[in-house]
Structure 1
């Protein structure tokens, strides 16, 4: 009965939000990416192609949206369903975001029930991020993200507060957009307890590389954004090459 009430509350919340958004001026966008595989912050979440749909409503500096990733090999490999809310402020210099991650896979989630919000068994992970988006005088972006509730727990059920920090720089080379990034986790896990953080067992770099992107013209009025990424995880000693197209 309690689960049914949560579902009904969520449905009514969505209906009210859509009605309110319709009554105000804002922008509703949606699309999807087709990726050769899903690699996120240096960790591979799928072994094959995934489709990653997303929808977002934004007004001023506020944005609320949903994003997902689903494998094309007929399994739960790489499955993810996220909700997020963000606010960009100070002349677009900073963005604060809260994300609800949900991974419906036995390997990552503790429980595959979406409406289970008990901390000990939930499959949700709540993350807060604060990003400096860079400026003309300092064209380096800095983002810090911390898991503060949910399935990122140790064997004793204690919250691990896994932290991820990423530096980035974007520029254009011969009409090709280049995004360079370097991400690391600064927190060591407790080796005596045999714990492992969300990003690795020790402090170090977990996500380094670059993404090149360009719009490929199909016709005079239609083009496809294409991207290619080279991603290295020094801590795990892995290297990934990822190709993507956006619709």
Structure 2
């Protein structure tokens, strides 16, 4: 992580003089409906889900504060205790708060992931066994290329789990756009949970038209595939 931080600092120094991409100002609300919630190569909730969002972009600054959630429609996910034993089935719920600060083509983001499970359900409990995980991330975008580096830094940080991703939009024609994604992260969190190395955990292609997106996702570490449909409103 120290090496990554140095590289990102150097990037800021080189790119800070470039113009910040234009962002819509003021409030924004919306929602997605997904056939399943797959995040960084892992299916969370094992159910269709409704995912509302709310954000505010400060005029003249491009700084964004927002909230995002995911609410599973079905009760079909096993709940585990701290020892990994199945306790019961529950309906997956997630509520995230985030702050994004643009620096040239870079986006610096601080996110709090809140996932209540069992008795660990206090919204702002940042103990190591609590329902909150704080992540620091840096995103970079240039034309059709996007890059992301992220690490859990507080709360239930899962041993500071790290994730890196590259995306490239390779098709944009007749109202359709297509993007390929490759992501790598700690096996102990994003992969098969048995290793302790950085592994390829998220690969796939997303095709979008208007408000609809279909994504094929494959996690090479767990050897599991997903096909997800999303409608955005």
Give the corresponding residue for 1:209: 204
Q: Quick check: which has more Rg, 1 or 2?
A: 1
Q: Does residue 1:94 correspond to 2:103, yes or no?
A: no
Structure 2: gaps spanning 5 or more residues = 1-23, 77-89
User: What are the equivalent positions in structure 2 for 1:95-110 lying under 5 Å apart?
Assistant: 95-106=107-118
Deviations 1:172-208 (A, max 9, x none): 14321112110002x57xxxxxxx3454423211010
Give the counterpart of 1:134 among 126, 142, 153.
142
Give the corresponding residue for 2:133: 125
Write the distance in 1 (CA, Å) between the matches of 2:110 and 2:32: 22
TM-fit CA distance, 1:26 = 4.0
Distance change in 2, residues 1:47/1:197 (3 Å):
closer
Is the strand fraction higher in 1 or 2?
Answer: 2
Q: Is the 8 A contact 2:42 2:190 kept in 1?
A: no
Q: Does residue 1:244 correspond to 2:225, yes or no?
A: no
TM-fit CA distance, 1:122 = 2.0
User: What are the equivalent positions in structure 2 for 1:1-247 lying under 5 Å apart?
Assistant: 26-59=25-58, 60-73=61-74, 76-90=90-104, 93-106=105-118, 111-117=120-126, 119-135=127-143, 139-153=144-158, 160-170=159-169, 171-185=171-185, 187=186, 196-199=188-191, 200=193, 201=195, 202-215=197-210, 225-247=211-233
Write the distance in 2 (CA, Å) between the matches of 1:180 and 1:173: 16
Write the distance in 1 (CA, Å) between the matches of 2:93 and 2:114: 9
Aligned length: 191
Write the distance in 2 (CA, Å) between the matches of 1:227 and 1:47: 19
Structure 1: gaps spanning 5 or more residues = 1-24, 154-159, 189-195, 216-224
Write the distance in 1 (CA, Å) between the matches of 2:164 and 2:177: 22
Q: Secondary structure at the match of 2:113?
A: strand
